[in-house]
Each structure stands twice: as structure tokens, then as C-alpha cells.
Amino acid sequence: MNARAPFAGVGDETFALASSVPASSWHDGLIEDGSELLAEEVPVALVFNGISHAVMLASPQDLEDFAVGFSLSERIVRAAQDVREVEVEAGPHGIALAIDIAPGAMARLKATRRARLGQTGCGLCGIDSLAWFERETELDDPRDGGVHETGSPFTPQALQRAMAAMAGQQRLHQATGAMHAAGWADRDGHLLLVREDVGRHNALDKLVGALARAGIDAGDGFALVTSRASFEMVQKAARAGIGLLAAISAPTAMAVRLADRAGLTLAGFVRGGRHVVYTHPRRLRPDAVAHGT
């Protein structure tokens, strides 16, 4: 039943990105039996130096990016260079990401490790107290890269151009209708990186990892997400040094407060030639000089 082509899984192993399932569709009173292509979500264990740290439900592609981005977003490592190797190990029940991190990073992880079970759409799984929540919402940790100013402001046209281009690069979403995406665009709004996943948090982690692995300064452009902007999406962007996060849907009030504290420009409802800026509008100026067409 797995639809392995064109959505191949991990190497020659058992995991496809999408599967065809029997389904009946109803339209204008008519019922038609057929099949539907559905996105897969697979348990992915993140194992650091032999110690299992988290199990997330994720789409089984761009997993090396996911490993690096998760490690950075969770402050397990301070830099991508602290992730020395990632091995993708597929088994009968899921995928294990064997992540080899530097000794210093492993020492910090052991000091703060807690049991976590991640689910798609869950940003605080495994946090067992309000004290943990307070820690997770802090952005002034010395390990955080923080948001910094780089270059001139972005134009609203660049923001709209990038979001309009997102749909054309969401190949899995076009096929299944069930995927989130996170993208990164340059100052002219040219979309250079897109990562997809059934989980919006995972998609952003994959994007952060892709930027870090490519050696791209995240502050030289801006990030876009095809979801609402919750506080943890803002948190991940700020920790990656992204100065502008644009969401196709609304933010939460907590996300706005966090973005304001972090110095991050947060825009929502970015679609159809419209957007709303909630924090630090200095990075989005109609009179900013575009760098290209």
C-alpha cells in the first residue's frame, strides 16, 4: 500500500513519505470509491551519543537537517559544528537518528535532560512543571545566538513575493494536503530553502538545520511558515538568529510578547498582498531599497 514513488522513503528501507489508502469521496451528492494519497508520520528517535533523548512524530525526509536543527533549537549544541555526525538508522518500528555531539555538549545535555515524548503540533511535550515552562520561554540564556541586526530593512514586496512562492515548492503538501512548510528567503524575497513536515515545529527545525549545515547566516534573510505563529515557533526562530518570522496565519498573544522581548519582527496573515506586523516593524519598511527584481 505504500506509494514509494515519487515519494521514496529512507534509502531502501520501509518508510515512504506518503501512502495510498482506500477512500470514498462525496461531491454534490455523488459517492466515488477510489484512493487517496496520505502523508506518513513516523516515530523518529533522537539519540545523542547513545542516549535516547526524544521521540518525535515526523515526516521521514531531510532527517539530517532535523537532527541539527533540533539540537540547535533545544540548545543541546551551541553551533552546528558541535554535531559531528548523524546516522539515520531505519528499523521496523521507526527511525533512530544517532547523533554524535561534542563532549561539552553532551555534558550539558546530561545536566538538563528530561524524558520527552514529542507529537506533531505539540510544543511543550515532556515539560512537567511551570518552572520548566518558565525556563523554556527564556531567551537570554548565554547559549542563545539571539536576534541581531544585519543589513537594511526588508520591503513588504519581498515578504509577499516569498510567501507567494512557497506553495510551488511544497511538493508533498500538493500531493497530500497535510504538510506544513518552513522557508527561508533572501532580502529580495527569493525563496532559497524550503523544508516540509507533518509537524510545523519539525519543519522549522529542519529549516534551521539546513541553514546551519549550509553555513548561511539566518539573519541575512527571513523565515516563513505555513502555519500559525505560536510561541515555540518564535522561540526557535529567535534562537537561530532569524530577525523576521512571517506566518501565513495568525500568531498567539504569547508569541507576540515573546517576539517583542526577543527583538524579533513578527508578521502574520501574510497572504494575498496583505500582512500584519505585530512587533519591531523597523525591519519591514515600504521605502526600503530592494536589492534586485
Q: Which residues are catalytic?
A: 122
Assign 283 to helix, strand or coil.
helix
Tell whether 261 is in a known binding site.
Answer: no
265, 284 in Cβ contact below 8 A? yes
Tell whether 273 is in a known binding site.
Answer: yes
Tell whether 269 is in a known binding site.
Answer: yes
Tell whether 194 is in a known binding site.
Answer: no
Tell whether 199 is in a known binding site.
Answer: no
Q: Count other Cβ atoms within 10 Å, centred on residue 242.
A: 27
Residue 226 C-alpha cell reads as: 505555513
Which residues have a Cβ under 8 Å from the Cβ of 205 and sit 6 or more positions away? 65, 66, 69, 70, 73, 236
Closest CA to 242 of 215, 260, 224: 224
Return the exposure string of 33-52: e unless at least 16 CB atoms fall within 10 Å of the residue's CB, then b: eeeebbbbbbbbbbbbbeee
Bridge partners, residue 267, by sequence: 246, 277
Tell whether 274 is in a known binding site.
Answer: yes
Residue 116 C-alpha cell reads as: 520527552
Question: Using CA atoms, how far apart are residues 95 and 57, in angstroms rounded to an integer?
Answer: 10
For the four alpha carbons of 215, 221, 225 and 229, in that order, the dihedral sign comes to positive
Specify burial of residue 105 (Cβ count, 10 A radius: 0-12, 13-18, 19+): buried
Residues tagged in the binding site annotation: 269-274
